Amino acid sequence: MGLIATRQTEISSKVHPALAYVLLWGAILWLTMIEGGQASLVGLAPVNEKIYKDSHPKAYKSTVITNKGDNLDRYLLGRQFMVVLVVFTVNVSGAPLPGAELWGLPQWIVEIFLVTGFAMILFTCMVGQLASQVNAAHCMLDYIDNYFALFTLYVAMFIEWTGLLHASYVVQLLVGKLAGKPIESKEPPRTGAQSLFFWGRCLFSLTCLAFALACTIEAIFKGKTTMWAGVPNWVTFILLFIILGIVGMLEGMQIAFFAVTKIPVAERGDSKIAKAVCDILFRNNGHNLAGFMIGRQLTVVSSMFVGARVTSITDEGGNLFGVSDGLQSFFRTGFLGAFIITILGSISWQLVASAFPIQFLSNPITYLLLRIALFFEGTGICSGAWVLAAIHKHFAGFQRDEVYIGTAEERMAAELEDHESNLNLGPGHPRKLPMMDPDDAVTPAALKELMESEPEVAAYLKKLAEVEDGKPSADEE
């Protein structure tokens, strides 16, 4: 906030600090709904929406849309671009200009918090992402029972409808072919007109992606990006693909980890790396799984801020390709970089991980990034998010979903049982891993470990639960 007030950021120096404040806080507040909405809509997908139609009418309006056909996939595609665009907006609004100083702070503090962008990274993660994920993981209905959530859903669906991100569907189909498994859809086959409209948008998206890459690479080699001074252009070019790889791996890892939680231990592959990853991941009653999600968020946002530096285009040395001033102003918004990272550094990797989760686990880079994410979480640097979440929950009056819709067992007893098929998991369907609760004390730790190591025990206990619920009868069992 101090940098903006002293006109030491891109927007505040060229326009006005007031605009920078509006953009920064508007982006962060919208990010809270983008992240919380995703956790809520994915988490509520299996729940029969009739249960909360009257108690949460606005949440009902949202889930009726996302639970229809393949709309949940479409929503996830659109919201992913919104996340990247928000991070780029925060960067252009709050990133310090070269040589920025503040309040007479020592130079080493300036270097750590301002020059590297670490202050913005912590601000974005804790205020905009983690706090909302914590609350939305357990208070899904209350979190999206408002018109802000419904508006965010409409925007995400519109972004997908435009076809801008349809290159991802080309990747989706290729992934299905490579996996030898057709992409499952909950909609009837397209008509001729629908196919023409779909493939036309795919071609449009691929053309836009090629143009964005051409502009960005040209800007990099002409030194017309916001990359830190002194970094050679060829290093910036290499760094672009390193960032795409790191963000992609972290996005794919959460999909692979979500998939592997559904796979018996015996089917998790013979790779030593895969076994080591799973051993770390499911240690401490799944606490490391929650820890990874927190550390991963910090790592992804850090990478995206560096990506924003690498891909954001400036006016230095004239307009790129000799384009008009209006088009050059559009280039400066960072839209091209956000578009590239969304497709090549996020969605594509999620789709690949959904089809090949075991291969992702067997990658040594997965092991390294898991360790890094857990290290970041272990430092406690983002623990402030839990405090912010508690404050938000208190003033918003959020209650856990069980208060309104009961537990899964209670819904089953009332013949309003969940429909897991609504999640439509598998190749080509990127389902984000929800924030895990490390303090689950319902099941004894020893029994959890036994069920994990012995799938037969888990299957037997499941059958006992079915008998208790009257399906099938005890005599038949």
Classify residue 380 by burial, with Cβ atoms within 10 Å: 0-12, 13-18, 19+: exposed
pLDDT of residue 226: 77
pLDDT of residue 232: 86
Supply the DSSP string of 135-185, one letter for each residue: HHHH-HHHHH-SHHHHHHHHHHHHHHHTTTTTHHHHHHHHHHHHHT-PPP-
CA distance 363 to 338: 27
Angle at 337 (CA atoms; ends 336, 339), nearest 5 degrees? 65
Q: Give 437's pLDDT tier (boundaries 50, 70, 90).
A: very low
CA distance 213 to 240: 11
357-382 confidence digits (pLDDT tens): 777 778 888 888 888 888 888 888 88
Q: What is the mean pLDDT of residues 125-136?
A: 85
The percentage of the chain sitting over the pLDDT mark of 90, rounded to a whole number, equals 11
Give pTM, 2 decimals: 0.75
Average pLDDT value over all residues in the chain: 80
136-191 confidence digits (pLDDT tens): 878 888 999 999 999 999 999 999 999 988 988 888 888 778 777 777 777 788 88
Q: What is the mean pLDDT of residues 80-93?
A: 84
- Main-chain dihedrals φ then ψ at residue 322, nearest 5 degrees: 70, 25
Highest mean pLDDT among 208-222, 416-430, 437-451: 208-222
pLDDT of residue 430: 62
Higher pLDDT, 126 or 99: 126
322-361 confidence digits (pLDDT tens): 777 777 777 777 788 888 888 888 888 887 777 777 777 7
pLDDT at 255 over 90: no
Higher pLDDT, 291 or 214: 214
The percentage of the chain sitting over the pLDDT mark of 70, rounded to a whole number, equals 83
pLDDT at 237 over 80: yes
Helix (H) or strand (E) holding 235: helix 233-260
pLDDT of residue 436: 47
Which residue intervals of 45-166 are DSSP H helices?
57-66, 71-94, 107-109, 118-123, 131-138, 140-144, 147-161
Q: Is the peptide bond before 472 cis (omega within 30 degrees of 0)?
A: yes
CA distance 349 to 250: 9
